[in-house]
Amino acid sequence: MAIRFLLIISVFTLCLACQEQVLHSVTTAEFEHFIQETNYVTDAEKYDWSIHQVDIINFEILGGLSWRCPDGRTQAQSDLPVCQVSLNDAQAYAEWAGYSIPTYEEYWALVTQDHRPINTSSTGILPANQVNLVGNVWEITAPDEFGRVRLAGGSFLCDKAKCNGTDPLRDLHVDKITGNSHIGFAVIK
């Protein structure tokens, strides 16, 4: 209970400090512009494999996955949040664009400003401008003081019975180089 209280106080304090900041889910189109301008090669493209999340529990490790074709079958839509990106990829984009990757606490403080509906009943990822950041794709956050990369917000695959990603106390980490078909990132503008 004390941890929940401290997190709520922390989010409230950060929310007051970031009134003018906006949390923005980076779309495939925006990421493509970055790639065209910089010739950047993502980690999934370098290693020629990544993870396709079949459902909340089951996944496949497949070759040829990238932000261009995150599930290995269909081209990524330009208005969807970019997926199959790693922390390294997110940081490279943010540096190029002049933005920053939010910390876990900043993410939850800023997402309270997003009053669009949460993606709770879709069978897939929805366009970034139509739904709340929470519940569409997991969002990579900046590493904590121990270097751990924590995911925030949950994805369309989550529900209260399985992973409850919409709960700020949910603790899920990823490494710095692996992408996934339902993990993207947001930046602070």
Cβ burial 64-91 (10 Å sphere, 16+ → b, else e): ebbbbebbeeeebeeebbbbbbbbbbbb
Count of domains for the chain: 1
Q: Is the whole-model pTM more than 0.75? A: yes
Query: Smallest Cα–Cα separation from 114: which of 10, 13, 25?
Result: 25
- Structural domain including 22 reads 2-188
Residue (of 58, 76, 88) closest to 149 by Cα position: 88
The set of residues, in sequence order, having a beta carbon less than 8 Å from that of 143 and lying 6+ positions away, is 87, 149, 176
Q: Tens digits of per-residue pLDDT, 36-63?
A: 999 999 999 999 999 999 988 899 999 9
Helix (H, G, I), strand (E, B) or coil at 89: helix
Buried b (16+ CB within 10 A) or exposed e, 2-36: eeeeeeeeebeebbeebeebebbbbbbebbeebbe
Domain with residue 136: its CATH number is: 3.90.1580.10
DSSP 141-177: ----TTS-EEEES--TT--TTTT-TTSTT---EE-SS
Q: What pLDDT digit, counting tens, does each position of 91-140 carry?
A: 999 999 999 999 999 999 999 888 888 887 788 899 999 999 888 999 99
